[in-house]
A and B are shown apart, each in its own frame.
Chain A
Amino acid sequence: MIFPFGYLRPRSNVRTINIGRTCIFTNANITMTERRHEDMDILSLSAVELGKKIKAGEISAMEATQATLAQIEKEEPRIHGYVTVDAQGALKQAEEIQGKIERGELTGPLAGVPAAIKDNICIKGRLTTCSSKILSNYKPTYTAEAVEHLQDAGAIILGKTNMDEFAMGSTTETSYFGPTMNPHNVGHVPGGSSGGSCAAVAARECYYSLGSDTGGSIRQPSSFCGVVGLKPTYGTVSRYGLVAYGSSLDQIGPITKNVEDCAAVLTAIASWDKKDSTSVKREDYDFMGSLKADVKGLRVGIPADYFTEGLNKEVAEAIRAAANVLKEQGAVVEEFNLSLVKYAIPAYYVIASAEASSNLERFDGVKYGYRAKDYEGLHNMYKKTRSEGFGAEVKRRIMLGSFVLSSGYYDAYYLKALRTKALIKAAFDKAFENYDIILAPAAPTTAPELGKSLGDPLKMYLSDIYTVSVNLAGLPGLSIPVGKDEKGLPIGMQLIGDHFQEKTLLRAAYTYERVTGKEAR
């Protein structure tokens, strides 16, 4: 195979497929076979509950897949959570997996359960667009490590979910394919960048999904959509096959209806992968054992410096109320000052943009993806391809990142940001000397209205204040629904743990969920 690219004259035979701004169904005519169960019942099950019923022979993987595809067909016009849905492929997988389950070859809790994958995670031969025009025709030649683990666990992959372009954004409005709507109120955004993954779970268009989190991209939309989302400790889930945004910050994580599913999906995808040099070999990869409703003596710290004027009152009250629930269960809850809070946003945007500016250089129209139609010479081809192929937010971050890495500015911005990152990590280390968990909001507000955020990027960046420092410090963070505001929009509580303390987070979240009965159904 040779990668052809002409640069001496414009080429007319450009290799792109134009796929408009709508969701693609590779098989739009889904014919439903007879259903023995009410779809409502099937769809309201959690992933683990469904897995059990499939194993027990009460529901088949095919039935679950058909029910979910029907739900997708019904909800997508309203939600637009997916970039692509492969109905035919999903039905074929369901048939194969059902056979393996019946033969006893697949016995895990997720076997036969339909799932969705964020569109920046590669699946061989299937469109992986990162919700960008520049990758609108891109089909990877290999499958991401995390997805391979899910496939090994018997997941049925329904499709790829919508996101902010290259995971840059907090609303899923920067997608080339148009925004995703919040299932709780379609006049509002689902958050971002994993907005499609979170909305799909909330709208029961899948049982769970994978998202990626660079500065809050799993936790914030999980909070906005009323689902459980976890960003694992950096190095826990292989990044191999995740299209990089900020390499030193990116982590893939589960988005689920409840805490049990979260533990099950994390158990499936976490691994030590030699293909990812930043992957960490952990002592234990079974997170199911942490599901105990017991927080007696758990030391919970609430950063007082997070509860400032920027935090919405309703959100603040909901978080304090949730903290009280843990306290009533025997946790020791107190406030403290985390410090350095205001430095997290600038440090994050310098580091993430710098890495992004380099990571996105490979999208140049030479090897794959979109290429401008008319150009003269190589440099003109680069310029036109990238000018036409990237959206405004991506361009803004590429320019910001290129600037902070320029000679003469490197020390003043990039190096300073790295030092700030180290200080923030030290502040967390100090906090974890006194607390097992840090309890905080996931976002300062509930989901904003559609169309209200992109006009003021700086304001949008500032809304990441409670999530970005967790990425800078490489810590695990979990978002769990704790209530709704007066408009009916979900509020999420963020639990932050020390490195490798996912089990502590899952235990606290599980306790909260058991006591309050607040689960997405």
Chain B
Amino acid sequence: MSKQYETVIGLEVHIELATKTKIFCGCSTEFGGAPNVHTCPVCTGMPGSLPVLNKQVVDHALAIGLATNCHITRVCKFDRKNYFYPDNPQNYQISQLYLPIARDGWVEIETGGVKKKVRIHEMHMEEDAGKLVHDEWDDTSLVDYNRSGVPLVEIVSEPDMRSAEEVIAYLEKLRHIVQYLGASDCKLQEGSMRADVNLSVREIGSDAFGTRTEMKNLNSFKAITHAIEGERERQIELLEEGKQVVQETRRWDDNKESSHAMRSKEDAKDYRYFPEPDLVPVMIDDEWIARVKAREPEFRTAKLARYQKEYGISQVDAEILTESRNMAELFEAATALCKKPKKVANWLMVETMRLMKEHDMEPQDLRFSPENLAGLIEMTDKGTVNSSVAKEVFEHVFLENVDPQAYVKEHGLATVNDEDALRKTLEEVIAANPQAVADYKGGKEKALGALVGQTMKAMKGKANPGRINELLREML
């Protein structure tokens, strides 16, 4: 390749908002359920039905718009996007074209230690479509409108990204902002966050954009990365061969790890957008904005810096702790109680993560209280329980949110600090294990470990292994 190329990428990101009811009717947004149970005349497009806007949707969209530094459209409106498809019961989607809720924002991303702003062109609210089920056997298709009318926002970026790495960083940034706001769980695999990639290539140094393609059906960061790399190569190859890139929409096939053309610009639909006459404009005043702004949490970027400065936590650890707002808040609350940030961090990053994995849980599923974690940490510090007992107790804190003090007392797990009792047990262990004693005296350090183990067993784990070690050396 003689020429050097640059990849230019812009994203259209759809995020499903976490509201209890749909955007234009009172039906539940709950996932699953038998087909068409979460439906009513509105979300199945029955004649004569009318949409009524769910204000919670505007609240969430407003929060995302403010957090991504957008200008908020004070009088925003909905428009109809007309196209025929059976998953769309009215054959038009209520969306926003002319006056979307937010415009001209940006988020900052960091890749390889370099910071960069990715601009947001606009963000609008819209309704999701239903789901088609194709029955190959019966040669028919069925439609389920449970998802019809689930609220979405679409965030359209400017073509400011230059690599898959930047794209992933941008998506992670959006995901953290939206999750911290509680506006969505943003799961790519489950479709609550979806990204379409607009990509073109150009010679480095060129100011003009190349012809772009749009890639759809990208359900994981891996798919996004592979699709970007593949599409970049495909376009460069075309240009190198003296051919043109065709402006088209392409569909990513995860199994084949390649994309194919869906439709070209010539087939592009004319959506005949016009203002939705069934809805009145949404008036967003200063008070509404102030109310949403007041609820804004401390975002991840701010927490990352503060954790390092205030708690002396490393960048890597801080990243793990702030991965979710729930985990970060647990950390902060437990630290405020026991004043031991590193120990709290350790419990969260090691035992908590292990148990979450074991029980297939997400950070938002964590149910134990910071008081109980802090209490357990204090008990280990005081030597009330040893570390292996603490782990056992923590499992109960994690699963049942038990009070560790009460639990230890109830199950008799407190460490025995009675020196006489310990010496008595040690004498018995030494007497019962002459071979090990001989080995130790013969220079085998390992043999001491066996004796400590035997003592712990004899004391049912309720002893301090460090003290046993000291006493053994002294007694032998």
Using CB atoms and an 8 Å cutoff, list the residues of chain A in contact with chain B: 1-9, 120-122, 128, 130, 135, 138, 140-142, 144, 239-244, 246-248, 274-278, 354-355, 357-358, 361-364, 366-368, 378, 382, 402, 405-407, 410, 414
**Distance A366 CA – B48 CA, assembled complex (angstroms):** 17
The 8 nearest A-B residue pairs measured at CB: A361-B91, A405-B272, A247-B277, A248-B277, A6-B140, A243-B47, A241-B48, A362-B45
Can you show 10 pairs from A to B with CB atoms below 8 A apart?
A2-B143, A3-B143, A241-B49, A244-B48, A244-B278, A277-B279, A357-B272, A358-B92, A368-B46, A406-B272
Chain A binder among B82-90, B321-329, B413-421: B82-90
**Distance A141 CA – B41 CA, assembled complex (angstroms):** 7
The answer to whether B141 has its CB under 8 Å from any CB of chain A is yes
Known: A240-B49, A248-B277, A276-B52; 18 extra A-B contacts, CB below 8 A, are A3-B145, A4-B142, A5-B141, A6-B139, A6-B141, A8-B140, A141-B46, A142-B46, A242-B48, A244-B47, A277-B50, A278-B277, A278-B279, A362-B47, A367-B44, A368-B46, A406-B272, A407-B270
**Distance A361 CA – B35 CA, assembled complex (angstroms):** 23
Write the nearest CB–CB distance from A124 to chain B, whole angstroms: 10
**Distance A406 CA – B142 CA, assembled complex (angstroms):** 31
Contact with A358, one of B44, B46, B274 (Cβ below 8 angstroms): B274
**Distance A142 CA – B91 CA, assembled complex (angstroms):** 21
Chain B residues closer than 8 Å to A244, beta-carbon distance: 47-48, 278
Query: B49, A364: Cβ atoms under 8 Å?
Result: no
Query: A405, B53: Cβ atoms under 8 Å?
Result: no
Chain B residues closer than 8 Å to A364, beta-carbon distance: 84, 86, 91
The answer to whether B182 has its CB under 8 Å from any CB of chain A is no
Query: A362, B89: Cβ atoms under 8 Å?
Result: yes
Write the nearest CB–CB distance from A414 to chain B, whole angstroms: 6
Can you list, as one digit per residue, whether each of B262-302 has a CB less than 8 Å from chain A (1) or not (0)?
00000000101110011110000000000000000000000
Contact with A382, one of B52, B53, B84, B145 (Cβ below 8 angstroms): B84
Chain B residues closer than 8 Å to A142, beta-carbon distance: 41, 46, 49
Chain B residues closer than 8 Å to A247, beta-carbon distance: 277-278
Query: B50, A362: Cβ atoms under 8 Å?
Result: no
Query: A358, B143: Cβ atoms under 8 Å?
Result: no
Known: A277-B278, A278-B280. A361 touches B48 (CB 8 A): no
**Distance A140 CA – B52 CA, assembled complex (angstroms):** 20
Write the nearest CB–CB distance from B77 to chain A, whole angstroms: 12
Chain A residues closer than 8 Å to B84, beta-carbon distance: 361, 364, 382
Query: B47, A122: Cβ atoms under 8 Å?
Result: yes
Contact with B92, one of A240, A274, A278, A361 (Cβ below 8 angstroms): A361
Contact with A144, one of B48, B80, B140, B273 (Cβ below 8 angstroms): B48
The answer to whether B51 has its CB under 8 Å from any CB of chain A is yes
Chain A residues closer than 8 Å to B274, beta-carbon distance: 354-355, 358, 405, 410, 414
Chain B, 79-133, CB within 8 A of any chain A CB: 80, 82, 84, 86, 89-92
Chain A residues closer than 8 Å to B89, beta-carbon distance: 362, 367
Query: B140, A5: Cβ atoms under 8 Å?
Result: yes
Write the nearest CB–CB distance from B53 to chain A, whole angstroms: 7
Chain B residues closer than 8 Å to A363, beta-carbon distance: 47
**Distance A405 CA – B270 CA, assembled complex (angstroms):** 9
Query: B270, A9: Cβ atoms under 8 Å?
Result: no
Name the CB-closest residue of A to B85. Answer: A378
Chain A residues closer than 8 Å to B91, beta-carbon distance: 361-362, 364
**Distance A188 CA – B426 CA, assembled complex (angstroms):** 117
Chain B residues closer than 8 Å to A138, beta-carbon distance: 47
Write the nearest CB–CB distance from A77 to chain B, whole angstroms: 30
Chain A residues closer than 8 Å to B140, beta-carbon distance: 4-8
Query: A362, B90: Cβ atoms under 8 Å?
Result: yes
Contact with A239, one of B50, B53, B139 (Cβ below 8 angstroms): B50
Known: A241-B48, A275-B50, A406-B270. A5 touches B86 (CB 8 A): yes
Known: A277-B51, A364-B84. A3 touches B46 (CB 8 A): no
Name the CB-closest residue of B to A121. Answer: B48
Write the nearest CB–CB distance from B38 to chain A, whole angstroms: 12
Chain B residues closer than 8 Å to A354, beta-carbon distance: 274
**Distance A277 CA – B78 CA, assembled complex (angstroms):** 13
Write the nearest CB–CB distance from A34 to chain B, whole angstroms: 41
Query: A277, B280: Cβ atoms under 8 Å?
Result: yes
Name the CB-closest residue of A to B272. Answer: A405
Can you list, as one digit per residue, whether each of B389-410 has a CB less than 8 Å from chain A (1) or not (0)?
0000000000000000000000
Known: A141-B46, A362-B47. A2 touches B90 (CB 8 A): no
The answer to whether B185 has its CB under 8 Å from any CB of chain A is no
